[in-house]
Amino acid sequence: MKTFEYDILFFQVKKQKDYEVMRSALNERGAEGWEVITAEAGDYGSTTFLKREIADTKAASE
């Protein structure tokens, strides 16, 4: 059975350059195996929800 872990990132987005910071952080997380589930934009920035699969430690130990 697949299991997942989750993370939430918040980005303040006030200027165009803030999008580059957001893109860079998401690319770093993607390289670590994280996948964006959804993102929500609000008055103060963007909240991004991520998940990644956790390796099955039972199968790995057998």
Over residues 6-41, the pLDDT tens digits come to: 999 999 988 888 889 999 999 999 999 999 999 999
Amino acid 23: pLDDT: 93
Amino acid 14: pLDDT: 83
Query: Taking CA 54 as the corner, what is the angle to CA 7 and CA 8, rounded to the nearest 5 degrees?
Result: 5
Instruction: Report the C-alpha gap between 50 and 41 in whole angstroms.
Output: 15
Does residue 3 carry a pLDDT above 60?
Answer: yes
Higher pLDDT: 12 or 44? It is: 12
Domain locations along the chain:
3-61
Is domain 3-61 annotated with CATH 3.40.50.10860? no
